[in-house]
Amino acid sequence: MQRVKPGPGQESVWDYPRPPRLEPSRRHIVIEFARQVIADTHSALRVLETSHPPVYYLPWDDVRTEVLTPSRLRTYCEFKGVAAYWSLQLGSITSENAAWYYPQPTARFAAL
C-alpha cells in the first residue's frame, strides 16, 4: 500500500508523534447529542498520536455535566494513565461510555 500525501491544509496521522503530543486547538468545538448542544468551547486541547485521529479534550466548564453519569468502565493508556468514562443521558436516549477523562493523568498530560 502506498502512503497518500496530505493536501494543503490537511494532516496525516502517520506524521503524528509517538509518544503523543498535546497541543491547544484553535478550533471551535461543538458537540451535539439528540439535537442538543452538550459542549461548546474555543479552549479544547488535542492529542496527536501516530496512526490515530486527533482526540479533543474539552474544559469541564464548557460541558453540560448534568447530562453525564459515571460509568464503571476504565481503560489504560501507557502515556496518559487510567481513563474513567461517562455515559450520556438526555431524556430516554442514552449513549454508554460516550466520553472519557483522566482523573490522575501522567505528568506529561497533566493539562488533561
Domain ranges of the chain: 13-109
pTM confidence score: 0.90
User: In which band, very low, low, confident or very high, does the pLDDT at 5 lie, cut at 50, 70 and 90?
Assistant: confident
Report the alpha-carbon distance of residue 111 to residue 105 in Å, rounded: 8
- The helix/strand/coil state of 64 is coil
CATH of 13-109, one of 2.40.160.20, 2.170.150.40, 2.70.180.20, 2.60.420.10: 2.170.150.40
pLDDT digits (tens, 9 = 90+) for 26-48: 999 999 999 999 999 999 999 99
Residue 105 identity:
P
Cα–Cα distances (Å) from 14 to 19, 52, 55, 90, in that order, read 13, 8, 15, 37
pLDDT digits (tens, 9 = 90+) for 83-95: 999 999 999 999 9
Element (H, E) at 75: strand 68-77
